[in-house]
């Protein structure tokens, strides 16, 4: 990380001045490229916490507190699953996130299609509810969900967490899908009908493939929101632990480096997914 | 036809019925409900489009051309009236069950499919054998001169090439009629002119009925066998390009197609087909007109039918004197505007031939004249 901050702005600048003498008038060459410095600063700021998380997953600490650098080790990686509670919490988080992604992806796609395509009674109300679900304070949402579950006599735990996660992330999928539907040329689907495709075939062969990028990014947002969520989850979890809840619980006694290890692995998985998505998108457009 | 009970509904048998128009519209009307109000887009259209014809719907934007076409394709259902394809009533039939194909103005290609898959789409829906599909797609791409681009995605093609893919995708199904909604609207002028010729050639080669929607009168005149001039949801005139151009039936057609001169006057007297029309303040001219004496009429004369001279012409030509107010040089021709005694203006086109009489200048007094049968009285 430290090397990146030093060579980052330096290297492109050196490249620019080498070619700059050919392309640019003399006076303009000296002016520093502030935009470039600014970009790098923002990037460093964004990535600093992640870099610290990754670096401290290799920290060779002796005691309970993983706050100062004490040397390099791979011990926490070989010992990643030393805390059974943490393993359960992580497994809950991952399965809930995957289920949230699938369910919110499915429901959000239908919702987004309906909102973008049709005019129906209660459409503007649905729009309003969707946006307020995004903008409402999480504390309020969490508290009211809890009272709703209690009123309905539902035992809080794994399934109520899943219901809550689907509820708050479905709007994000719906909004991305709706935006895509609104910018789609309706005559593309008409062309399919015109060429002999039934409404169902048209949806399968034309509409759905065109919506895939929006559904994927909506689903990834839902996944990320679910993995991350602490506030709402803490209201509706009962005695079920998730990764963020477990970390919060262990702050008083010191967070073990295994948390950094798992954080790093989740981050790595996220990067892989993002890269895969980009590669697929590029292949699609070819 | 003999065994009506087991008559197959395939197009080839239907098309074989002699004398049945490929498409017929009977008293078609369409009102859209928008914002609690009815918008009358089409107001009672009757059309019979013959097998193998290149038929154009020509009219200004908003006159109901697209709506008419969408009712033929099945995307809109008429408020009243009947749509027939080869004599069969298809009024309530869904688009995918109609044997017509459409070329959309936006091309509407499937962006996630290759050119091959785009063109094969219709054949696959009919579950044709894959060898057959490959052969037909190759043939269709050959027709539009795009062979070799099968594996390309539409996004990587130019506008003109996308247009050709859209055409091939529709033609490959050998529909009983091809509907084209302003298909060249998005192309630049040069490409558009090239594609006009190309479309005409393709239509002649495949012999399929083309219904062509355009607001460009030049396009309609060049390509069509027959033209329906539309205005305000109605057909104003139906005829061959020459008929529509030479003998506009309404004031609207006269104004919309080409440039035409309108002269208002009163019928002073008549002898057979030809009437003498007095234009107040300008003089008297003879024109073909069947209005009774005393009736007010509007005469129309095409600018290229008018001759312009310094001296009063002899013979039986209709003639009026005026002053040149505008001279526009256009290279191969010059357009003159001449103000007549009644204050109205006529436009005169003159070819710039090498032996042409010396050009008139602004402010010069001239005589404009035409043969009486080249001026028509418009009704209303
Ligand atoms: N879906 C629709 N809803 C409401 N009004 C429409 C709709 N489609 C077309 N119209 C109206 O119908 C009239 C005819 O439109 P259209 O058939 O598209 O004309 P053209 O293709 O000749 O430009 C216009 O006034 C247009 O505003
Ligand atoms: Mg239109």
- Check B121 against A201: CB less than 8 A apart: no
Q: Which of B181, B179, B188 is nearest to B159 (CA)?
A: B188
List the single range of A123-137, B117-131, B159-173, B325-339 with lowest mean pLDDT. A123-137
Task: Give the span between the Cα atoms of A104 and B319, in whole angstroms.
Answer: 80
The partner residue sitting opposite B75, judged by closest CB among A190, A205, A284, is A190
User: Is B183 in CB contact (< 8 Å) with chain A?
Assistant: no
Give the closest-approach CA distance of A192 to chain B in angstroms. Answer: 8
Q: Which of B49, B48, B104, B56 is nearest to B200 (CA)?
A: B56
- Check B73 against A194: CB less than 8 A apart: yes
DSSP, collapsed to helix, strand or coil, labels residue B50 as coil
The pLDDT tens digits of the residues spanning B252-303 come to 998 898 888 888 889 988 887 788 888 888 888 888 888 888 888 888 898 9
Task: Give the span between the Cα atoms of B282 and B278, in whole angstroms.
Answer: 8
At B12, the pLDDT band (50, 70, 90 cuts) reads: very low
- Check A195 against B101: CB less than 8 A apart: yes
What separation in Å is there between the alpha carbon of B70 and the centre of ligand 2?
10
User: Is B96 in CB contact (< 8 Å) with chain A?
Assistant: yes
Average confidence (pLDDT) over A259-271 = 89
* pLDDT in the model for residue B214: 94
Taking domain A93-243, whether its CATH number is 1.25.40.10 is answered by no
Q: Report the 10 Å Cβ neighbour count for B27.
A: 12
B75 ligand 1 Cβ < 6 A:
no
- Joined tokens for residue B130: 């894959």
Ligand 1 pocket mutation, candidates B25, B29, B40, B41, criterion most atoms within 8 A of CB? B41
* pLDDT in the model for residue A29: 63
Give B 324-343 residues with CB within 8 A of chain A.
none
* List of domains in chain B: 2-99+175-255 (3.40.50.300), 259-378 (2.40.50.100)
ipTM of the complex: 0.81
**0.80 cut: is pTM over it?**
no
Task: Give the span between the Cα atoms of A10 and A3, in whole angstroms.
Answer: 11
Among B11, B77, B108, B123, pick the best mutation site for testing chain A contact (most A Cβ within 10 A). Answer: B108
Mind spelling out the 3-state secondary structure of B221-233? Answer: HHHCCEEEEEECC
What separation in Å is there between the alpha carbon of B32 and the centre of ligand 1?
8
pLDDT higher than threshold 90 for residue B192: no
Contact (CB, 8 A) for A166 and A232: no
- Check A194 against B95: CB less than 8 A apart: yes
The pLDDT tens digits of the residues spanning A94-135 come to 999 999 999 999 999 999 999 988 888 888 888 888 888 888
User: Is B112 in CB contact (< 8 Å) with chain A?
Assistant: yes
pLDDT higher than threshold 70 for residue B9: no
Ligand nearest B43 Cα, by number?
1
* pLDDT in the model for residue B360: 82
- Check A196 against B96: CB less than 8 A apart: yes
Query: Taking the domains of chain A in order of start, what are their residue ranges?
Result: 93-243
At A147, the pLDDT band (50, 70, 90 cuts) reads: very high
Residue pairs between chains A and B whose CB atoms are closer than 8 Å: 62
Task: Give the span between the Cα atoms of B101 and B23, in whole angstroms.
Answer: 13
At A27, the pLDDT band (50, 70, 90 cuts) reads: low
User: Is A15 in CB contact (< 8 Å) with chain B?
Assistant: no
């Amino acid at each position: 990380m430290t090397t990146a901050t030093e060579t980052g702005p330096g290297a492109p600048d050196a490249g620019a001045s080498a070619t700059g003498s050919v392309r640019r008038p003399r006076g303009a060459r000296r002016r520093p490229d502030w935009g470039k410095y600014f970009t790098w600063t923002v990037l460093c700021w964004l990535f600093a916490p992640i870099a610290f998380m990754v670096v401290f997953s290799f920290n060779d600490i002796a005691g309970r507190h993983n706050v100062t650098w004490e040397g390099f080790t791979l011990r926490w990686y070989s010992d990643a699953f030393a805390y059974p509670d943490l393993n359960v919490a992580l497994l809950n988080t991952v399965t809930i996130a995957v289920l949230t992604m699938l369910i919110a992806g499915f429901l959000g796609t239908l919702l987004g299609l309906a909102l973008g395509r049709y005019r129906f009674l209660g459409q503007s109300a649905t729009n309003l509810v969707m946006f307020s679900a995004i903008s409402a304070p999480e504390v309020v949402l969490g508290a009211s969900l809890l009272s709703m579950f209690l009123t309905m006599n539902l035992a809080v735990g794994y399934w109520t967490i899943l219901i809550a996660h689907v509820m708050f992330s479905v709007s994000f999928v719906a909004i991305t899908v709706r935006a895509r539907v609104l910018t789609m040329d309706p005559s593309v689907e008409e062309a399919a009908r015109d060429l002999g495709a039934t409404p169902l075939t048209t949806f399968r062969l034309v509409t759905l493939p065109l919506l895939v990028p929006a559904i994927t990014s909506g689903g990834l947002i839902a996944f990320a929101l679910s993995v991350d969520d602490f506030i709402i989850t803490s209201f509706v979890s009962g005695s079920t632990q998730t990764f963020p809840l477990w970390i919060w619980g262990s702050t008083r006694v010191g967070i073990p480096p295994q948390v950094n290890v798992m954080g790093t692995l989740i981050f790595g998985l996220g990067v892989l997914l993002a890269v895969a998505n980009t590669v697929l998108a590029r292949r699609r457009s070819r | 036809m003999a065994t009506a009970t087991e008559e197959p509904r395939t197009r080839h048998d239907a098309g074989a019925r002699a004398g049945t128009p490929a498409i017929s519209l009977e008293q078609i009307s369409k009102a859209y409900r928008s914002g609690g109000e009815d918008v009358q887009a089409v107001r009672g259209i009757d059309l019979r489009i013959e097998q193998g014809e290149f038929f154009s719907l020509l009219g200004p934007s908003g006159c109901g051309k697209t709506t008419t076409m969408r009712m033929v394709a099945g995307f809109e259902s008429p408020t009243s009236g009947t749509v027939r394809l080869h004599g069969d009533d298809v009024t309530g039939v869904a688009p995918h069950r109609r044997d017509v194909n459409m070329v959309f103005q936006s091309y509407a290609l499937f962006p996630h499919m290759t050119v091959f898959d785009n063109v094969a789409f219709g054949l696959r829906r009919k579950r044709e054998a894959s060898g057959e599909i490959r052969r037909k797609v190759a043939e269709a791409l050959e027709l539009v001169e795009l062979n070799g681009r099968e594996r390309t995605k539409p996004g990587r093609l130019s506008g003109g090439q996308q247009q050709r893919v859209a055409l091939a995708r529709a033609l490959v199904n050998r529909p009983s009629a091809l509907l084209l909604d302003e298909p060249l609207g998005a192309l630049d002028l040069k490409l558009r002119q090239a594609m006009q010729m190309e479309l005409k050639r393709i239509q002649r080669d495949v012999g399929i009925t083309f219904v062509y929607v355009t607001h460009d009168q030049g396009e309609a005149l060049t390509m069509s066998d027959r033209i329906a001039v539309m205005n305000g949801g109605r057909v104003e005139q139906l005829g061959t390009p020459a008929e529509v151009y030479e003998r506009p039936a309404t004031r609207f057609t006269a104004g919309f197609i080409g440039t035409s001169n309108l002269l208002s006057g009163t019928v002073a007297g008549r002898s057979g087909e030809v009437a003498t029309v007095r234009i107040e303040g300008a003089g008297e001219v003879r024109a073909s007109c069947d209005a009774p004496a005393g009736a007010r009429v509007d005469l129309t004369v095409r600018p290229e039918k008018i001759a312009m001279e310094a001296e009063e012409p002899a013979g039986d030509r209709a003639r009026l004197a005026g002053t040149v107010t505008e001279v526009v040089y256009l290279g191969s021709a010059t357009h003159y505007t001449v103000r007549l005694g009644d204050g109205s203006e006529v436009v005169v086109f003159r070819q710039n031939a090498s032996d042409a009489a010396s050009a008139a200048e602004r402010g010069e007094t001239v005589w404009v004249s035409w043969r009486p049968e080249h001026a028509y009285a418009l009704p209303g």
